[in-house]
Amino acid sequence: MKLSLLQENLNVALQNLSRFTTAKSQLPILGNILLATDQGRLKLSATNLELGLNCWIGAKISKEGTTTLPAREIAEYVSYLPPGKIDLQLDDKNLLHLTSPKSQSSFTTIPPADFPVLPSINPKTSLEIDLSLIQNAISQVAFAAATDDSRPVLTAVLSRFTLNELILAATDGFRLSLKNLKLVNPLELKGVADGALTYLIPARALSEVIKLSRSAKKITLGPTTDDHQIVFVLDDLELVSRLLEGDFPDYQRIIPESHTTKIFLDREEFTQSLKIASVFARESANVVRFKIKKSSLELSANAPQIGQNQVTLDSRLEGEPLEIAFNYKFVSDFLSVCQGKEIAIELNEALTPGFFQDTSDPSFTHIIMPVRLQD
């Protein structure tokens, strides 16, 4: 293998790929990055067997070849090099020589025979979707998925694509985030018998889609030929993720059909008031009490070892006054993905789910379970 490329391109690729390696594995090669010449470009790959990434960057190829080398060390080393040309050459002793204008180094490599092959997308069932649309939908939903594996299905985002609709749903058992979007431009669904594609995609994979797509222009997604994995194609990147199996909760059952109390709040004032209350709430199980009055909302938190706090903000009430409590972190997470000026909260009783909505985005729904009040 012999080639030349730019430090700027290699550095970006290695920083992305490093997130997909693992040093804590019975397979040492999973701590490495694969380098392979591929049709006039350099292909780099990394995987932890749950997520994998392929990346292609421009290079001047003088001699074809493939090898693997330790991810952490090569990524750190290249990040310290100045911008400009780097020459790579693999010798017959499996040493990869990196030469830049003022630096020369050699890395011990491992032959690629044991490196897992990352599958490709099945073109027969792939679909292309508006990138900004999917980015926004993921950001509004993925954060509500569970982060522990006690119930693996809850670490997934239910993702359903139909001709004219996109549905994403995630829940950790305490909250639910739902995006139900009617599409202006119909999707072209290939090889779909029932008119819909439904996947359980790990939330971590979708979070990586957000990170990797910041400089992308379009996105194509679809399963592999065995339907056990899904591939996201983002320009010169391919993210590969395993799909989860299981029965996703029937989220429609917990969405309230009616309400007796509805309040409207200024989003920025609500966010700031919640931050004030959080100083005390985080020392007391994150509980913030909501006292809903005719024209105001009173937020209060009590931490015996610190003190107590009460903050009042203007609100508009439709229905009955109510006192209820929520985990402030869940409410803050919801507010962080809202963009409108006004927030609406629909409630029934102190122990029934709260329905939160950004009034500027009816396609986005968030449900939060309340906390039992302690008198």
Q: Give tens-digit pLDDT for 12-62.
A: 999 999 999 998 878 899 999 999 999 999 999 999 999 999 999 999 999
Per-residue pLDDT, averaged over 119-147, amounts to 94
Q: How many CB atoms lie within 10 A of CB 136?
A: 19
Assigned CATH class of 256-368:
alpha beta
Instruction: State what percent of residues in the chain have pLDDT above 70.
Output: 99
CA atoms within 13 A on the CB side of 22: 11
Q: What is the token pair recorded at 31?
A: 């701590």
| Per-residue model confidence as pLDDT tens digits over 341-353 | 999 999 999 999 9
The pLDDT tens digits for 309-325 are 999 999 999 999 999 99
Dihedral, 131, 136, 137, 139 alpha carbons, nearest 10: 120
**Dihedral pair phi/psi, residue 28, rounded to 5°:** -55, -30
The CATH number of the domain covering residues in 127-251: 3.10.150.10
> Measured between alpha carbons, how far is 71 from 29 in angstroms, rounded to an integer?
10
249-259 pLDDT per residue, tens: 999 998 989 99
Residue 166 has pLDDT above 80, yes or no: yes
DSSP 8-state code for residue 121: P
CA distance 44 to 14: 8
Three-state SS for 173? coil
Rounded Cα gap, residues 225 and 327, in angstroms: 43
Residue 375: pLDDT band (50, 70, 90) is low
**pLDDT per position as a tens digit, 185-241:** 888 877 666 678 899 999 999 999 999 999 899 999 999 999 899 999 999 999 999
pLDDT tens profile 264-296: 999 999 999 999 999 999 998 999 999 999 999
The residues pairing with 179 across neighbouring beta strands, listed in sequence order, are 168, 364
pLDDT at position 321: 97
Structure tokens at 17: 């790929």
| Tokens representing residue 177 in the block | 């985030």
CATH 3.10.150.10 fits 2-114, yes or no: yes
Report how far residue 256's alpha carbon sits from residue 206's, in angstroms, rounded to the nearest whole number: 28
The CA distance from 373 to 351, in Å, is 9
Which amino acid is residue 82, in one-letter code? Answer: P
Which residues of the chain form CATH 3.10.150.10?
2-114, 127-251, 256-368
Q: Around 127, how many Cα atoms within 13 Å sit in the side-chain half-sphere?
A: 21
